[in-house]
């Protein structure tokens, strides 16, 4: 381990050799002070506000996050407000934002902060890294932006910017490359203003140093970019392609009982879309979707129903998986009370008027909207 650390230090020394760090910092900070976007989480440097924004922004566009963030902060303005809330309340405000494990981990982590640190988010790296759902990037963002500590906050934007500035051809999809960039940031970060420095790198990647067709003529650190001087800006960063995700054909049942209530099911407490509500569904590859769905309803819920026509189709894409959903209107024939399965304890018959109280994933929210018309 010591040898690897020494080798990395030598590599960083080689990378920054001859690089005018002071001038680079000055130009970058000057640009950010004048050109930074006005975003709700930049109103102050409160660590909780920074934390929530960084969790929401993971794999999600800024424009999408803003209204969610504002509603969330109105409802849960402090660590203690969020820690005291029920997870169902948190999920409901997160509904449609996706990647619900983020909300679940955030909720669990603020409880840790409330119980172990009196509601004050720790400003020590070893403590903040132990909080659930906080990885190296989020920890670095909180520590630098909120607490002014010279800690690296390396996300995809930062790796893209620095791979071009320093002409680094390492594969950014590999964990060791992220560690290389973290070490590089430690070598060039502004100790006087680490908050603005890290935010400036992120902002530069978001606004100027785009993945495709970077706007080099507008870049404040154009003169320092080695890739641009070599005509390599379009070739960097190097990123190996992720494995192609799996695609599943899913059959969804719209079952309405004699009282006009819809059959819903709550997903398991762990795993994909944990604890979210959904209309009953099952994998149904092949040409027998109706038969598979009918059998699933009977064996899982004791519900006798006949799927008729497909009334809605949708696609739900995860980072590693894609669902093609076919939604079937079903004819309800009754219920077999003798069939007792564990999932029945997580099932519910819900009126159309009450659907809005339940938290669905994005695709099932569309289905709920359809049946509510």
β pairing state of 246-254 and 277-278:
unpaired
Superfamily of domain 246-371: Nucleoside Triphosphate Pyrophosphohydrolase (3.90.79.10)
Give me the chain's average pLDDT, please. 91
Higher per-residue confidence, 126 vs 335:
126
Residues 297-318 have a mean pLDDT of: 90
Evaluate whether 2-229 and 246-371 have a shared fold. Answer: no
Query: Can you give the pLDDT at residue 270?
Result: 84
* Residue 351's pLDDT band (cuts 50, 70, 90): very high
Residues 270-283 have a mean pLDDT of: 91
Domain segments of the chain: what residues? 2-229, 246-371
Q: Long-range contacts for 344-348 (Cβ within 8 Å, ≥24 apart)? A: 344/300, 344/301, 344/302, 346/265, 346/266, 346/267, 347/263, 347/264, 347/265, 347/266, 347/301, 348/263, 348/264, 348/265, 348/266, 348/277
Indicate if the pLDDT at residue 342 is higher than 70.
Answer: no
> What's the CA gap between 14 and 9, in Å, rounded?
9
* Residue 3's pLDDT band (cuts 50, 70, 90): confident
Indicate if the pLDDT at residue 287 is higher than 70.
Answer: no
Q: Which of 9, 20, 35, 54 is catalytic?
A: 54
> Domain 2-229 falls in which CATH fold?
Endonuclease III; domain 1 (1.10.340)
From residue 372, how far is each of 97, 138, 206, 262, 336 by CA, in Å?
21, 39, 38, 11, 27
Residue 236 in contact with residue 168, Cβ under 8 Å?
A: yes
Higher per-residue confidence, 288 vs 31:
31
* Residue 9's pLDDT band (cuts 50, 70, 90): confident
Indicate if the pLDDT at residue 1 is higher than 70.
Answer: no
Indicate if the pLDDT at residue 362 is higher than 90.
Answer: no
Query: Can you give the pLDDT at residue 272?
Result: 86
* Percentage with pLDDT > 70 across the chain: 97
The answer to whether 54 is a known catalytic residue is: yes
Query: Can you give the pLDDT at residue 344?
Result: 57
């Amino acid at each position: 381990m010591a040898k690897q650390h020494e080798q990395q230090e030598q590599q960083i020394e080689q990378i920054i050799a001859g690089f005018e760090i002071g001038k680079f910092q000055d130009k970058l900070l000057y640009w950010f002070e004048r050109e930074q976007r006005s975003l709700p989480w930049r109103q102050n440097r409160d660590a909780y506000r920074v934390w929530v924004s960084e969790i929401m922004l993971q794999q999600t566009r800024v424009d999408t996050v803003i209204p969610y963030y504002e509603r969330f902060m109105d409802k849960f303005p402090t660590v203690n407000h969020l820690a005291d809330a029920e997870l169902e309340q948190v999920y409901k405000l997160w509904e449609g934002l996706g990647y619900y494990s983020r909300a679940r981990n955030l909720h669990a982590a603020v409880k840790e902060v409330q119980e172990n640190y009196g509601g004050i988010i720790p400003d020590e790296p070893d403590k903040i890294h132990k909080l659930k759902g906080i990885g190296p990037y989020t920890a670095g963002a909180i520590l630098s932006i909120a607490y002014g500590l010279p800690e690296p906050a390396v996300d995809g934007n930062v790796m893209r910017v620095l791979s071009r500035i320093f002409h680094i051809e390492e594969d950014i999809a590999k964990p060791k490359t992220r560690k290389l960039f973290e070490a590089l940031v430690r070598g060039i970060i502004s100790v006087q203003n680490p908050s603005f420095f890290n935010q400036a790198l992120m902002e530069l990647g978001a606004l100027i140093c785009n993945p495709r067709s970077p706007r080099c003529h507008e870049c404040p650190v154009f003169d320092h970019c080695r890739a641009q001087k070599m005509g390599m800006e379009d070739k960097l960063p190097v990123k190996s392609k992720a494995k192609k995700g799996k695609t599943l054909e899913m059959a969804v049942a719209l079952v309405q009982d004699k009282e006009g209530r819809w059959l819903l099911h709550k997903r398991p407490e762990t795993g994909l879309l944990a604890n979210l509500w959904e209309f009953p569904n099952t994998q149904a590859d092949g040409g027998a979707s109706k038969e598979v769905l009918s059998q699933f309803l009977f064996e899982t819920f004791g519900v006798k129903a006949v799927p008729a026509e497909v009334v809605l189709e949708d696609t739900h894409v995860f980072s590693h998986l894609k669902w093609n959903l076919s939604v079937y209107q079903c004819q309800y024939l009754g219920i077999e009370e003798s069939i007792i399965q564990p999932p029945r304890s997580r099932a519910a018959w819900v009126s159309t008027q009450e659907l809005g109280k339940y938290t669905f994933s994005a695709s099932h929210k569309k289905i709920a909207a359809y049946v509510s018309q």
